[in-house]
Amino acid sequence: MLLSDLQTKDIINVKDGNNLGRIIDAKIDNTGKIIYFVSEPKKLMRRVTRGGDVSFNFEKIKKIGEDVILVDLS
């Protein structure tokens, strides 16, 4: 799967059901391994919450579906 494929999916936190937006960036180390992803909240959520970008690593991903990525951000 390509990073561009992941960028088309909404990210949902399974703990509270919040839509965290979509992946906008990835931090990659010198060996090419992805360290973490960065998602940006949708425009409506940016007005409601004060937080900015959210980052998470592969261990936080619970399921990658056709339309969404489920993450566990406790």
Is residue 41 very low, low, confident or very high in pLDDT (cuts 50, 70, 90)?
A: confident
* pTM, to two decimals: 0.80
Mean pLDDT calculated for residue range 70-74: 92
Residue carrying the six token digits 């406790």:
74
Output the six-digit token pair for 36: 């973490």
pLDDT digits (tens, 9 = 90+) for 10-32: 999 999 998 999 999 999 999 99
**Residue 22 CA: distances (Å) to CA of 3, 12, 33:** 11, 9, 20
pLDDT at 46: 47
Pairing of the two strands 34-40 and 10-13: unpaired
The domains located in the chain, with CATH, are 3-71 (2.30.30.240)
Q: Cα-Cα-Cα-Cα dihedral of 25, 30, 34, 35, to 10°? A: -90
